Amino acid sequence: MVGATPTVQRTLRFARLTPGAVNRARETLVTASGKAVNVARVYATLGGDSLLVQFLGGDTGRFVARALESEGVAQENVWVREEAATRTCTTLLTDDDSAATELVEEARPVTPEEVAALAEAALRHIPDARALCLSGSFPRGVPDNFYAELIQAAQAAGIPTLVDAQRAPLRAALAARPFLVKPNREEAAATLGFSLSGDAERDARAAVGALLAAGAEWALVSMGAPGSLLGEKRNGGLWHIASPRVEVVNPIGSGDSLAAGLLHALLRGSPVPEAAVYGTACAAANCLSPTSGVVRPADVAALLPGLSPRPLS
């Protein structure tokens, strides 16, 4: 897994939130997070062996490294300047509303030398990998084609690449022809410049078609509560992957959990549609945790029965 924007995640739970008033949290949780961090953690929880390559900096970066080490997540960290400390993001949860409010701190800029070090670390491990997952946005200083160059190296090594990104980094990645991409329909529209109609399935079909035409072998596009649409370029297949109904505690990190579950199933030999179903169960299981990028295998197993990819015409 490669990611450039890890974070210290503070999750605060309130009975309710009142704008403009003093709000006292009744619970505070502090964890390591960020898209690639969440993928790596969930993948390890499912029993997979992975290596997370990422930027870290400052005391917050040291916290992330220690937290991941305690959770058994293997990592190779590129340490940046102290003034480019790893960011902190905050999630606000309330007892009276299932919606989560996310306060996102942007990652600090990185230097060309730090970018080169991250690329070198990733490229060094690609020949021994079974798959490559590229997840998340870039801090200033990382060129838009950073993921694309890693995809080309993975192709040369004969391993599949899963990309979870949007806008310019995803456009560049698509030109390198990755194995699978998984934006939601809003991210796909913003990346490829088409308009959304407001009809979830129609928009997801348009997104899948556009992503495949732009270079992906497979495209998985989230529609939110209705689930996802999965499309294949080679045979023109299209499937609907329904989402199980759960009592949502915190939805943050569900897309990352989906990526981890999909990769885990794929590398165990599952066809892509079945792997996407397993990933969807992982995404739903993540919603049951108060912190992001956390699943319990027992929850995944309980959510799987009844889920299957439904072919569409």
97-103 sheet: strands from edge to edge = 27-33, 7-14, 87-94, 97-103
Q: Six-digit token pair at 88?
A: 């902190």
Per-residue pLDDT for 98 more than 70? no
d(CA 90, CA 232): 37
- Give me the percent of the chain exceeding a pLDDT of 90: 95
pLDDT-based confidence at 154, cuts 50/70/90? very high
Of 65, 52, 108, the C-alpha closest to 259 is: 52
pLDDT-based confidence at 99, cuts 50/70/90? confident
pLDDT-based confidence at 56, cuts 50/70/90? very high
Please report the pLDDT score of residue 313 as a whole number.
Answer: 81
- Mean pLDDT of the region 181-193: 95
What residues contact residue 46 under an 8 Å CB cut-off, 6+ apart?
260, 261, 264, 282, 295, 297, 300
- Cβ pair 182, 222 in contact under 8 A: yes
pLDDT in tens, 4-48: 999 999 999 999 999 999 999 999 999 999 999 999 999 999 999
Please report the pLDDT score of residue 224 as a whole number.
Answer: 87
Q: Six-digit token pair at 228?
A: 């996802």
pTM, two decimal places: 0.96
- Paired with 18 in beta bridges are none
Kindly report the CA angle at 36 between 107 and 267, in degrees rounded to 5?
A: 165
Domain 2-311 has CATH 3.40.1190.20: yes
Please report the pLDDT score of residue 48 as a whole number.
Answer: 96
Of 29, 43, 40, 46, the C-alpha closest to 6 is: 40
Residue 76 identity (one-letter amino acid): E
Residue 92's region, left for phi above 0, alpha for psi from -120 to 50, else beta, is beta
pLDDT-based confidence at 116, cuts 50/70/90? very high
- Other residues' Cβ atoms within 10 Å of the Cβ of residue 24: 7
pLDDT in tens, 236-291: 999 999 999 999 999 999 999 999 999 999 999 999 999 999 999 999 999 999 99
- Rounded to the nearest integer, the mean pLDDT of the chain is 96
Please report the pLDDT score of residue 182 as a whole number.
Answer: 97
